Amino acid sequence: MGTYYIPRNYKGESRILYIFSIKSLITTAIGAGIGAIFFWLFSLLALKTVGIAIMAIFAVIGYIIGAVKIPTIATIPLTKKIGGEPISEIIIRYIKFKKKRKIYTYCESKKNTKEEK
């Protein structure tokens, strides 16, 4: 019997701290950075615990955007089309669609008719 090469999917194998891929670590840092602005604002108002909670929420949202893929659920028609794709790619595709969106109008011209005398 011969041996055969079975290709592997190497995408996402570079993990940092077991749960973070490079993309999810970057999006988590971006989310925590946005949350840090709110932490700074709430620390000026002496509400540091609220600021920490908001910063944690933004970091979790960043992690979800970077790491979670949309599951394929047979009963929901939308997930049949985008199932298995990361949320970040869906967001990027939506932004590109909105950026290139054009509105076309249709004008019906009036025909010149001769009036009979």
List the domain boundaries for the chain.
11-68, 69-99
- The C-alpha atoms of residue 38 and residue 20 are separated, in whole angstroms, by 24
3-state helix, strand, coil in the chain (%, to 5): 55, 5, 40
Q: Report whether pLDDT(8) > 80.
A: no
Q: Which two three-digit tokens encode residue 95?
A: 């932004």
Q: Report whether pLDDT(115) > 70.
A: no
Query: What local confidence, expressed as pLDDT, does residue 111 receive?
Result: 60
- Residue 16: DSSP 8-state: E
Asked if residue 51 lies in contact with residue 42, where contact means CB atoms within 8 angstroms, the answer is yes
State the average pLDDT for the chain: 80
Residue 100 sits at φ, ψ, to 5 deg, of: -95, 5
Q: Report whether pLDDT(35) > 60.
A: yes
